[in-house]
Structure 1
Amino acid sequence: MTIDPASSQPSGKPRVVVLFGGRSSEHSVSCVTAAGVLEAIDHSKYDVVPVGIARNGQWSLASVDPEQWSLRSGSLPEVESGPETVVLSGEGGSRELVAHAPDSLPKSMGRVDVVLPLLHGPFGEDGTLQGMLEMADIRYVGAGVLASAVGMDKHYMKVVFAAAGLAVGPYEVITDRQWNRSPEECLSRVSGLAFPVFVKPARAGSSMGITRVTEASGLRPAIEAAREHDPKVIVEAGISGREIEVAVLQGRGNEDPRTSQPGEIAVRDGGHDWYDFEAKYVDGAAAELSCPADLPDDVTTRVRELAGVAFDAVGAEGLSRVDFFYTVDGELVINEINTMPGFTPISMYPQMWAKSGLPYTELIDELITLALERRTGLR
Structure 2
Amino acid sequence: MTKLRVGLLFGGCSGEHEVSIRSARAIANALNTDPNPSKYEVLPFYIQKDGRWQSPDIAQSVLESGVPLPSEETGSPTTRTHLWQFPPLAAEIDVWFPILHGPNGEDGTIQGLLQLMQVPYVGSGVLASSVGMDKIAMKSAFAQAGLAQVKYMTVNRSQVWSNPCVYPKLCDEIEATLGYPCFVKPANLGSSVGIAKVRSRAQLEAALDSAASYDRRLIVEAGVVAREVECAVLGNDQAQASIVGEITYNSDFYDYETKYTEGRADLHIPALLPEAIAAQVQTLALQAFAAVDAAGLARIDFFYVESTGEVLINEINTLPGFTATSMYPQLWAASGVAFPTLVDQLIQFALERHS
TM over 0.5: yes
Q: Work out the CA distance in 2 between the residues paired with 1:152 and 1:352.
A: 22
1:224-250 CA-to-partner distances (Å, cap 9, x unmatched) read 222232221111111111111000011
Residue among 301, 305, 320 paired with 1:323: 301
Q: Work out the CA distance in 2 between the residues paired with 1:336 and 1:248.
A: 13
The residue type equivalent to 1:261 in the other structure is I
CA shift, 1:189, in A, is 2.5
- 1:134-213 → structure 2 map (5 Å cutoff): 134-179=115-160, 180-181=162-163, 182-192=166-176, 193-213=178-198
CA shift, 1:87, in A, is 6.1
Contact 1:127-1:146 within 8 A present in 2 as well = yes
Q: Work out the CA distance in 2 between the residues paired with 1:176 and 1:113.
A: 42
Counterpart in 2 of 1:5? none
Q: Work out the CA distance in 1 between the residues paired with 2:64 and 2:273.
A: 38
- 1:284-299 → structure 2 map (5 Å cutoff): 284-299=262-277
Q: Work out the CA distance in 2 between the residues paired with 1:79 and 1:262.
A: 37
1:109/1:132 CA distance change after superposition, 3 Å:
closer
Residue among 41, 44, 57 paired with 1:47: 41
1:227/1:68 CA distance change after superposition, 3 Å:
farther
1:64 aligns with 2:70: no
Q: Work out the CA distance in 1 between the residues paired with 2:64 and 2:192.
A: 24
Aligned length: 336
Q: Work out the CA distance in 2 between the residues paired with 1:162 and 1:364.
A: 32
The residue type equivalent to 1:23 in the other structure is C
Of 155-164 and 47-56, more deviation after overlay is shown by 47-56
Where 2:60 maps in the other structure, the secondary structure is coil
Q: Work out the CA distance in 2 between the residues paired with 1:354 and 1:245.
A: 14
Contact 2:244-2:270 within 8 A present in 1 as well = yes
1:120 aligns with 2:101: yes
Q: Work out the CA distance in 2 between the residues paired with 1:348 and 1:207.
A: 16
1:279 aligns with 2:258: yes
Contact 2:148-2:313 within 8 A present in 1 as well = yes
The residue type equivalent to 1:64 in the other structure is Q
Q: Work out the CA distance in 2 between the residues paired with 1:288 and 1:221.
A: 30
CA RMSD of aligned residues (A): 2.1
Contact 2:234-2:241 within 8 A present in 1 as well = yes
Contact 2:52-2:84 within 8 A present in 1 as well = no
Q: Work out the CA distance in 2 between the residues paired with 1:126 and 1:18.
A: 18
Where 1:228 maps in the other structure, the secondary structure is helix
Contact 1:261-1:352 within 8 A present in 2 as well = yes
Contact 1:263-1:293 within 8 A present in 2 as well = yes
Identical-pair percentage = 44
5+ residue gaps, structure 1, are 1-10, 70-76, 89-97, 100-106
1:46/1:79 CA distance change after superposition, 3 Å:
farther
Where 2:354 maps in the other structure, the secondary structure is coil
5+ residue gaps, structure 2, are 73-77
Where 1:64 maps in the other structure, the secondary structure is helix
1:79/1:363 CA distance change after superposition, 3 Å:
farther
1:138/1:286 CA distance change after superposition, 3 Å:
same
Of 327-336 and 288-297, more deviation after overlay is shown by 288-297
Q: Work out the CA distance in 1 between the residues paired with 2:298 and 2:246.
A: 16
The residue type equivalent to 1:52 in the other structure is Y
CA shift, 1:306, in A, is 0.5
Contact 2:181-2:222 within 8 A present in 1 as well = yes
Residue among 20, 23, 48 paired with 1:33: 23
Counterpart in 2 of 1:24? 14
1:234 aligns with 2:219: yes
1:173/1:293 CA distance change after superposition, 3 Å:
same
Counterpart in 1 of 2:354? 375
1:163/1:40 CA distance change after superposition, 3 Å:
same
Residue among 309, 312, 315 paired with 2:287: 309
Counterpart in 2 of 1:264? 246
Higher relative contact order (CA 8 A, sep 6+): 2
Give the 4+ runs in structure 1 shifted more than 3 A: 79-88, 107-110
1:136-172 CA-to-partner distances (Å, cap 9, x unmatched) read 2121100111100110011111111011010011111
Q: What is the TM-score when the length of structure 1 is the normalising length? A: 0.83
Contact 2:111-2:125 within 8 A present in 1 as well = yes
Q: Work out the CA distance in 1 between the residues paired with 2:289 and 2:350.
A: 17
Of 289-298 and 219-228, more deviation after overlay is shown by 219-228
CA shift, 1:17, in A, is 1.0
Q: Work out the CA distance in 1 between the residues paired with 2:265 and 2:65.
A: 25
